[in-house]
Structure 1
Amino acid sequence: MQKIVYRKYVTLNNQEAGFTLIEMLIALSIVLIICSLILHSMIVLQRSKREGNFIHPREWEIFYAQFKREITNSQRQEISNGKLLLYQNSDVITIEKYQDKIRRRVNNQGHEVMLQKITGLEFIKNGRLIVIVVTDQNKRSFKGEVKPYVYE
């Protein structure tokens, strides 16, 4: 009868080399870098999703400055069907809501976006003032008043 002997230790041939400590550290560092990039991109996406539905205060300031310039350069102003018509020399400039944007058109041609991410636009003529009220997609309201130089 033969005895079966089990070896307690496994020996590796020279051809069967395992991972070294340096290789494991490099692999671990690559995995950590990838995980940190994924985490950072998720944070950026979440922030942009949260902040994507409202008008930034700087955007409003730029729009309002353009709006004031348009009104002060016009000779006559009219509000008709939710649109502001500005008469400058022989041109008619229309400022109106279009989808989720405020657009500017000259002689009913072109399409210049002045402000986006809006849900409401209202023009009010209050005596000599022209008041604009804009509501963004987060229901925040922005209001501005302009007094034209030339009056009707």
Structure 2
Amino acid sequence: MIRKKKYVCTPLFSSHGFTLLETIMTLTVLSILLSFCLPILKLYDSPAYTEEMSAFQYFTFIQDELNTSKAWTVKNEELLITDPENRLIKISKYNQDIRRQVNGTGHELLLQQIISHSFIKEENQLIIRLSFEEGRVYEKVVYFPKE
């Protein structure tokens, strides 16, 4: 007569199905992987947010430049600013980018993937309009006190 040995522990892999330990381990690994994947997918799926933040940062940069300037004017869709050190700062569209030049030199990129860009000077305000490749249009009005 052949006797079968009785095991105190059941084998990890069974031909009859999954054990409770295998199921718990699988769920633990999946939950850890999903906790890392979901934030990455949210970052990937939000180009409008980054575009909006880029436009807001650009508007803030222009307003800071104008607030610290001695004089400014708009000429041929370019913003010309004279800073306190008497340097001429030109902000203009170059291909699909917006760049900043100081005294006609340099090529500091401020924005990319721009379709159209305009500066409109009125009495005591400057209107800035941006159109991105995605089709979104942003506008900012910078007010100045009347002199």
Pairwise TM-score range, normalised by the shorter structure: 0.5 to 0.7
**Which amino acid letter does the alignment assign opposite residue 132 of structure 1?**
I
Q: 1:31 aligns with which of 26, 34, 45?
A: 26
C-alpha distance in 1, partners of 2:40/2:95?
A: 25
Contact 1:74 1:150 in 2 (8 A): no
Q: CA deviation at 1:148?
A: 5.1
Q: Mark the CA change 1:27 to 1:117 in structure 2 (over 3 Å): closer, same or farther.
A: farther
Q: CA deviation at 1:98?
A: 4.6
Structure 1: runs of 5 or more not aligned: 1-8
1:94-113 aligned within 5 A: 94-98=90-94, 101-113=97-109
Structure 2: runs of 5 or more not aligned: none
% identity of equivalent residues? 20
For the pair 1:85 / 2:84, whether they are aligned, the reply is no
Deviations 1:91-127 (A, max 9, x none): 1212233565533222233344434564432212234
Q: Which has the higher contact order (CA 8 A, sep 6+)?
A: 1
C-alpha distance in 2, partners of 1:132/1:20?
A: 67
Q: 3-state DSSP class of the match of 2:135? A: coil
- Aligned residue pair count: 137
Q: 1:125 aligns with which of 109, 112, 121?
A: 121
Q: 3-state DSSP class of the match of 1:33? A: helix
Structure number with greater Rg is 1
RMSD: 3.9
C-alpha distance in 2, partners of 1:79/1:98?
A: 15
Specify the alignment match of 2:43 in structure 1. 48
Q: CA deviation at 1:25?
A: 5.0
